[in-house]
Amino acid sequence: MLTFPNAKINIGLQVTERRPDGYHNLDTVFYPIPIHDALEVIVAEGADYDCRLHISGIDIEGDPDTNLVVRAYRLLAADYTLPSVDIYLHKHIPTGAGLGGGSADASYMLRLLNDMFSLGITTQQLETYAAKLGADCPFFITGIPVYATGIGNEFHPITLDLSGLYLVVVKPDVFVSTKEAYSMVDPEKPEVTLDKKITRPISEWRESISNDFEKGIFALHPELAGIKEKLYALGARYAAMSGSGSALFGLFESPIDNVEQHFEGCFCEQQRLPDSHRGASK
């Protein structure tokens, strides 16, 4: 069985406070976008292993045996009888980008196994399993826009439809440490939360919706600030960094011709946002 995990962007990100457990509470909006990986699972008849991961496309650092899709398989295998499988993951969503690719892969693995082997797991149960794999993983179970608080794991419904706009995502060859990103932010509770700001016209977002990570990260990596400026110069209605980076995105009324030429040396993809809240549909 084959499925296509989709990425997400953060529209705004405010670090509101440091928690006693060392984590930080956030104020952000997750929006699904039509940039995908490919994930396929095939039953491995007579195999002497539980699952084996085969990766193509963008390189992924680390031991494949600890990859989130493998962890997702073993999480369900602890509660359900699953056959041995081969997992084929083709990475297209950039890693270390703030686009949630790894979390999407894990959640789609849960969904795929549930469908493939008729496990009968409810959506709510899938979200509970996903939460064990990562704070934002449950978002990808349903994949509709949400206002997220807590450590990015408490989801609240919002009405936000960007369908018909053109999305440009740019990811340069820059690594941003999440730990370092947080170290440069002074948490502060906003006077107006993002679920209220997001209801304003997109033409007002530039002045009202920001990503707290940008100030410190742009100082360390001015090329990221340059990408954001170029997105606005090309006519973006709104542009920002996603999460703790290092991907940036712009929302446009119309497509940009030969957009890749403006961002040479970077991952660059342009997509029309679908006429659906589900960024995963293909």
CA 29, CA 16: separation in Å to the nearest integer? 14
Q: pTM here? A: 0.94
Task: Mark whether 49 and 137 lie in a shared domain.
Answer: yes
On whether residue 278 sits in a domain, the answer given is: no
On whether residue 277 sits in a domain, the answer given is: no
On whether residue 280 sits in a domain, the answer given is: no
In this predicted model, what pLDDT tens digit does every residue of 244-260 receive, in sequence order?
A: 989 999 999 999 999 99
Would the pLDDT of 80 be above 60?
yes
**Quick one: average pLDDT of 94-121?**
97
Task: Mark whether 46 and 97 lie in a shared domain.
Answer: yes
Task: Mark whether 193 and 143 lie in a shared domain.
Answer: no
Q: Decide if 65 contacts 54 (C-beta within 8 A).
A: no
Give the total number of structural domains in the chain: 2
Q: Is 74 left (phi over 0), alpha (psi -120 to 50) or beta?
A: alpha
User: Rg (Cα) of the chain, in Å, rounded?
Assistant: 19
Task: Mark whether 135 and 171 lie in a shared domain.
Answer: no
Helices (H), the chain: 68-77, 101-116, 123-131, 139-142, 178-183, 194-197, 205-208, 214-220, 222-233
- Which of the four pLDDT bands, split at 50, 70 and 90, describes residue 277? low
Task: Mark whether 42 and 119 lie in a shared domain.
Answer: yes
Per-residue pLDDT at 27: 95
On whether residue 279 sits in a domain, the answer given is: no
- Which of the four pLDDT bands, split at 50, 70 and 90, describes residue 180? confident
CATH code of 54's domain: 3.30.230.10
Using the 3D structure, point to which of 157, 185, 209 is the last residue of a domain: 157
Using the 3D structure, point to which of 119, 139, 157 is the last residue of a domain: 157
Q: Which secondary structure element, helix H or strand E, spans residue 179, and what is its range? A: helix 178-183
On whether residue 281 sits in a domain, the answer given is: no
**Quick one: average pLDDT of 187-198?**
94
Catalytic residues: 8, 136
**Quick one: average pLDDT of 72-95?**
98
Q: How many CB atoms lie within 10 A of CB 96?
A: 18
In this predicted model, what pLDDT tens digit does every residue of 23-74 receive, in sequence order?
A: 899 999 999 999 999 999 999 999 999 999 999 999 998 899 999 999 999 9
Per-residue pLDDT at 276: 54
Would the pLDDT of 162 be above 70?
yes
What average pLDDT does the structure give for the chain?
94
Would the pLDDT of 268 be above 60?
yes
Task: Mark whether 149 and 172 lie in a shared domain.
Answer: no
**Quick one: average pLDDT of 109-114?**
98
**Which pairing describes strands 248-252 and 154-157: parallel, antiparallel, or unpaired?**
unpaired
Give the CA distances from residue 279 to residues 5, 86, 182, 187, in Å, rounded to whole numbers and listed in that order.
9, 26, 28, 31
Task: Mark whether 153 and 188 lie in a shared domain.
Answer: no
On whether residue 243 sits in a domain, the answer given is: yes
CA 271 to chain centre: 15
Task: Mark whether 78 and 104 lie in a shared domain.
Answer: yes
Would the pLDDT of 225 be above 90?
yes
Amino acid at site 145 = P
Per-residue pLDDT at 272: 97
Task: Mark whether 24 and 44 lie in a shared domain.
Answer: yes
Task: Mark whether 120 and 20 lie in a shared domain.
Answer: yes
Would the pLDDT of 279 be above 80?
no
CATH code of 247's domain: 3.30.70.890
Q: Where in the sequence is the domain holding 191, given as residue range(s)?
A: 166-272
Task: Mark whether 104 and 179 lie in a shared domain.
Answer: no
Task: Mark whether 244 and 211 lie in a shared domain.
Answer: yes
Using the 3D structure, point to which of 105, 124, 157 is the last residue of a domain: 157
Would the pLDDT of 229 be above 60?
yes
Of 8-12, 19-23, 43-47, 157-161, which range is least confident?
Answer: 19-23
